[in-house]
Amino acid sequence: MANLKNVTKKTKAQAMGMHSEVLTGRTQQKFFNPDEAENFYYFGTYDVDFNKRTDLDVKNMTAAEANKELDNLMSQGYGTIVIKNPQGKHSLGVGILNKLNLIFEGSLGYFGMGSSDGPIVRINGRVGWSCAENLMAGKVVIEKNAGSCFGAAIRGGDLICKGSVGARTGIDMKGGTIIIGGDAGAFTGFMMQRGRIIILGDVGINLGDSMYDGTIFVGGEIGSYGSDAVDSELTQSDQDWLRRKLRVAEIGENFDVSKMKKIVAGKKLWNYDNLEPAEKKGAI
């Protein structure tokens, strides 16, 4: 019985972490080498040749059929693919986790190029709601206008619209850069957490409402500021970065960035639960 009691006490002590253990002969296990980042690929991606080019007419295809054939062409090594007759279909080009030059000759519907990581895309038309939602990396250029929720929750890459965009552009944005050549709608930058938005034209009401972090640059008039969005000083570093970004985006070549307004988070909402009732009312 004495032996059983000792065993029981030892087990409880171990469960509570009240025992010592000598660590001998253990070393860190190396899972990957960060210097080899260029060799990391998603499972199921393909080694493509950008000089290998083909066309894909999706006029008589559903979006699912078109996306499947797009994947099939990448599996054959095509690195430049031209999509003909997209005709405003929804959810085209979604989930591409591959290096690829992709050109759409026409307009897309809702959710075009969503959840992508890596492709360089040019859309020679308009796009509907939520274009490039959850973009991780790469570059997407829209030659005309875009609908609402443009670049929702993007995490990286460059998203460029040479025309105007709808409401809630950059909503829940977590990284990357959104560049607008024209105007933007209400609640642009709503709840953005990271990243930058550049708007060369005017922007609607409630700009940057409830933004947690990130930066918004506006070249035109601002309808109104949202909760916790405040002006900040436009530094020389900001101006240099804006010029480089616009030059790479091939937009606003002669735009005077020195006159742009810089908007950031006032950070009053960071500790909202700790504010007094009167302070909460002022914050929102």
Q: Strand, helix or coil at 264?
A: strand
Is position 181 within any domain? yes
How far apart, in whole angstroms, are the C-alpha atoms of residue 184 and residue 182? 7
How far apart, in whole angstroms, are the C-alpha atoms of residue 155 and residue 192? 11
**Residue 194 belongs to domain spanning:** 44-283
Q: 105 near 84, Cβ under 8 Å?
A: yes
Is position 39 within any domain? no
Give the pLDDT score at 268. 82
In order, the DSSP letters of 71-128 are HHHHHTTEEEEEEE--TT-TTTTTT--S--EEEEES---TTTTTT-EEEEEEESS-B-
Q: Of 210, 209, 204, which is closest to residue 218 (Cα–Cα)?
A: 204
Inform me whether the pLDDT recorded for 4 exceeds 60.
no
Is position 220 within any domain? yes
Tokens of 218: 């506006």
Percent of all residues in the chain with a pLDDT value above 70, rounded to a whole number = 81
Q: What is the pLDDT of residues 139-155, one digit of tens each?
A: 999 999 999 999 999 99
Is position 30 within any domain? no
- Residue 197 is inside which H or E element, if any? strand 194-199
Q: Of 146, 139, 200, which is closest to residue 169 (Cα–Cα)?
A: 146
Report the DSSP beta bridge partners of residue 217. Answer: 198, 262
Residues 6+ apart with CB under 8 A from 199: 180, 183, 184, 188, 216, 217, 218, 219, 220
Q: Pick the more confident residue, 4 or 238.
A: 238
Inform me whether the pLDDT recorded for 41 exceeds 80.
no
How far apart, in whole angstroms, are the C-alpha atoms of residue 280 and residue 207? 19
Give the pLDDT score at 269. 76
Q: What is the average pLDDT across 227-249?
A: 96
Give the pLDDT score at 271. 64
Report the DSSP beta bridge partners of residue 174. Answer: 194
Q: What is the average pLDDT across 255-262?
A: 97
Q: How many domains does the chain have?
A: 1
Q: What is the average pLDDT across 172-193?
A: 97
Contacts 24+ apart (CB under 8 A), 243-249: 245/158, 245/177, 245/179, 245/198, 246/179, 246/198, 248/158, 249/141, 249/158, 249/160, 249/179
Q: What is the pLDDT of residues 93-126, one digit of tens each?
A: 999 999 999 999 999 999 999 999 999 999 999 9
Q: Of 82, 66, 71, which is closest to residue 48 (Cα–Cα)?
A: 71
What mean pLDDT is reported for the chain? 88
Give the pLDDT score at 1. 46
Calculate the alpha carbon distances from 276 to 18, 210, 227, 273, 281 in Å.
43, 18, 17, 8, 9
Is position 13 within any domain? no
Q: Strand, helix or coil at 203?
A: strand
Give the pLDDT score at 78. 98
How far apart, in whole angstroms, are the C-alpha atoms of residue 160 and residue 225? 23
Report the DSSP beta bridge partners of residue 121. Answer: 102, 140
Inform me whether the pLDDT recorded for 23 exceeds 70.
no
Look up the CATH number of the domain holding residue 146. Answer: 2.160.20.60
In this structure, is the dihedral angle defined by the CA atoms of residues 212, 214, 216 and 217, taken in order, positive or negative? positive
pLDDT band for position 253 (cuts 50, 70, 90): confident
Is position 139 within any domain? yes
Residues 6+ apart with CB under 8 A from 49: 77, 78, 79
Is position 28 within any domain? no
Is position 269 within any domain? yes
Percent of all residues in the chain with a pLDDT value above 90, rounded to a whole number = 76
pLDDT band for position 270 (cuts 50, 70, 90): confident
